[in-house]
Amino acid sequence: MMNRTLTALELKVMNILWKKKKAFIKDLLEVWPEEPKPAYNTVSTMVRILEEKGFVDHEAFGRTHQYFPVVTKSQYQKGFMKNVMDNLFSGNVKSMVSALLDSDKISEDELSELEEMIKKAK
């Protein structure tokens, strides 16, 4: 399951669930990050797909379900990055870091923090 990549819509749902911890479909729609909000049935289908994939589970309250993540954001991020490194960079950490550094989106402060992280990892 951890090697599965979430679609953009699935990731939006998961980001809300990771933040809220538990939510009904209406709760997800209330805090949806953009307009227009998707249809209730679209989000409901997406959550059921996430449940089938093993990312989400639910607690039943009569006919309604409250959903919660069973995979942490950190677990997903680590699995996603391992997948990127293995498949896009052939397991070569140096190539992956080089691509990140070439993106021009890393500030001086972030570079300093990364240097500290590397020192601590040694």
Q: How confident is the model at residue 1 (pLDDT cuts 50, 70, 90)?
A: very low
DSSP labels for 38-87? PPHHHHHHHHHHHHHHTSEEEEEETTEEEEEESS-HHHHHHHHHHHHHHH
Task: List phi, psi (to 5°) of 67.
Answer: -100, 150
Rg (CA), the chain: 18
Q: For 109, how many CA atoms within 13 A lie in the half-sphere containing its CB?
A: 0
Q: For residue 23, what are the β-bridge partners?
A: 67
Predicted confidence (pLDDT) at residue 87 exceeds the cutoff of 50? yes
| Residues contacting 93, CB < 8 A, separation 6+ | 85
Q: Higher model confidence: residue 83 or residue 67?
A: 67
Predicted pLDDT of residue 3: 55
Q: Provide CATH code, domain 8-69.
A: 1.10.10.10
Whether the per-residue pLDDT at 65 is higher than 70: the answer is yes
Question: Cβ(65)–Cβ(58) under 8 Å?
Answer: yes
Q: How confident is the model at residue 74 (pLDDT cuts 50, 70, 90)?
A: very high
| Predicted confidence (pLDDT) at residue 100 exceeds the cutoff of 60 | yes
pLDDT at 102: 84
What are the domain boundaries of the chain?
8-69, 73-121
Which residue carries 């669930």 as its tokens? 17
Given a cut of 80, whether residue 38 has pLDDT beyond it is yes
pLDDT band at 122 (very low <50, low <70, confident <90, very high): confident
